[in-house]
Amino acid sequence: MTTPNKILKTCTKGHKYYKSSDCPTCPRCEQERKPENGFYALLSAPARRALENHEIVSLQKLSTYSETEILKFHGMGPASLPKLRAALKEEGLSFRE
């Protein structure tokens, strides 16, 4: 099994990082912008970006989607669903059926 070649990239802030894909996301920038609280803080960077890309910035808006719809978002995986369910439940909300 071969390991893909990693390419040295530089983000707009000047951080240097290696990536083996075309993904333009700088790991250091992502770490710096990770929220410290709220339901976004529970999620991995890809899952957080998936919700941001669909303009889901509140639990109320999240509750208008079904779990199946959320899982179809690029970057969202099944490991995020229990975290999102728990956050919704704390607010007396749930995913749409």
Of 36, 46, 86, the residue nearest 62 (C-alpha): 86
For domain 35-97, the CATH architecture is: Orthogonal Bundle (1.10)
pLDDT tens, residue by residue, 9-39: 888 888 888 887 777 778 888 777 778 889 9
Question: What pLDDT shows up at residue 17?
Answer: 83
pLDDT tens, residue by residue, 45-82: 889 999 999 999 999 999 999 999 999 999 999 999 99
Label residue 2 by pLDDT band (50, 70, 90). Answer: low
Residue the block writes with tokens 């999102």: 84
Is pLDDT above 60 for 1? no
Alpha-carbon 30 to chain mean position = 10
Is pLDDT above 70 for 4? no
Of 73, 65, 75, the residue nearest 96 (C-alpha): 65
User: Domain boundaries in the chain?
Assistant: 1-33, 35-97
